Amino acid sequence: MSRVLVVEDETHLAKGLRFNLEAEGHSVEVARDGETAVQLLSNGSRTPFDAVVLDVMLPGKDGFTVVRELREMRNFVPVLMLTARGRPEDVLKGFAAGADDYLPKPFELPILLARLQGLLRRREWLIQSATPEQAPASGYETFSFDGRTIDFGKLELRTDENTIQLTLMEAELLRHLIANRDKVVSRKSILENVWGLHEDTDTRAIDNFVVRLRKYIERNPAKPQHLLTVRGVGYRFVPEPVD
């Protein structure tokens, strides 16, 4: 059983989500505004939540602010964001703030349940870590290149200077690129393997993740040496570039 926090101010929607998530065997709490959500999620004495379904449009503090504040507090609970349909800029804003996945409203309930299940499963996968088949890149929970170490168990990227906390999907994307290192990985393959082929996922979301990952792993993000764009196809991860 997982503990899920639903952050939604529309009463009928919040009720419907609670009912259906409980029917799936989850334990559910509802917060009707952003302040309450941050409070519930930052209270260390309580049982932590395993995932959050977070509406963007909330009274007071909006969903973007909530997820940004969580990440600033180093709370990396998986967040599924509910965005308004027809606003792709919200999707990018959500990912930039630290959301793990998104679903445009109005959504179909089975799709929401599948997405949430996907996040919960991936979280377990990363936490319980990594038998060799799950991490073919290294056989271990960590992978090192060019003075950087990615720790998939802790969702951390360590360099000489600092430690960067990765979100679940950042770690998943890195894991997929590393597993296929030195090969071209198409956006389609990334959609299928990292996001679980969401029929309405905008591929620009991937590009946005890549821009973020470059800031973490490249010495000069404007001239990437490790995470290369393959024009018209996708990306290639090169741990040891030959000059």
For the CB of residue 108, give the shortest distance to Ca ion in the complex, in Å.
18
> Which residue is nearest to Ca ion, using beta carbons?
57
Q: Phi and psi at residue 135, in whole multiples of 5°?
A: -130, 70
For the CB of residue 20, give the shortest distance to Ca ion in the complex, in Å.
17
Examine residue 78 and say whether the peptide bond preceding it is cis (omega within 30 degrees of 0). no
Total number of residues that touch Ca ion (CB under 5 A): 3
C-alpha distances (whole Å) from 184 to each of 64, 95, 97, 135 are 33, 24, 28, 18
For the CB of residue 65, give the shortest distance to Ca ion in the complex, in Å.
14
Q: Which three-class secondary structure state does DSSP give residue 159?
A: coil
Rounded CA-CA distance 121/57 in Å is 27
* Site for Ca ion contains 35 (CB under 5 A): no
* Site for Ca ion contains 57 (CB under 5 A): yes
DSSP secondary structure of 162-213:
-EEEPPHHHHHHHHHHHHTTTSEEEHHHHHHHTS---TT--THHHHHHHHHH
* Site for Ca ion contains 32 (CB under 5 A): no
Residue with smaller CB distance to Ca ion, 10 or 156:
10
For the CB of residue 103, give the shortest distance to Ca ion in the complex, in Å.
13
Is there a contact between 156 and 168 (Cβ–Cβ < 8 Å)?
Answer: no
For the CB of residue 81, give the shortest distance to Ca ion in the complex, in Å.
12
Rounded CA-CA distance 207/5 in Å is 29
Residue with smaller CB distance to Ca ion, 116 or 185:
116
Residue with smaller CB distance to Ca ion, 116 or 155:
116
Rounded CA-CA distance 192/107 in Å is 20
- For CA atoms 80, 84, 85, 89, give the dihedral sign: negative
Q: Which of residues 1-30 bind Ca ion (CB under 5 A)?
A: 9
Site string for Ca ion, 36-55 (x = CB under 5 A): -------------------x
For the CB of residue 61, give the shortest distance to Ca ion in the complex, in Å.
12
Residue with smaller CB distance to Ca ion, 61 or 181:
61
For the CB of residue 56, give the shortest distance to Ca ion in the complex, in Å.
7
User: What DSSP designation does 13 have?
Assistant: H
Residue with smaller CB distance to Ca ion, 5 or 173:
5
Q: Which of residues 62-81 bind Ca ion (CB under 5 A)?
A: none
| Beta-bridge partner residues of 105 | 84
Residue ranges binding Ca ion (CB under 5 A): 9, 55, 57
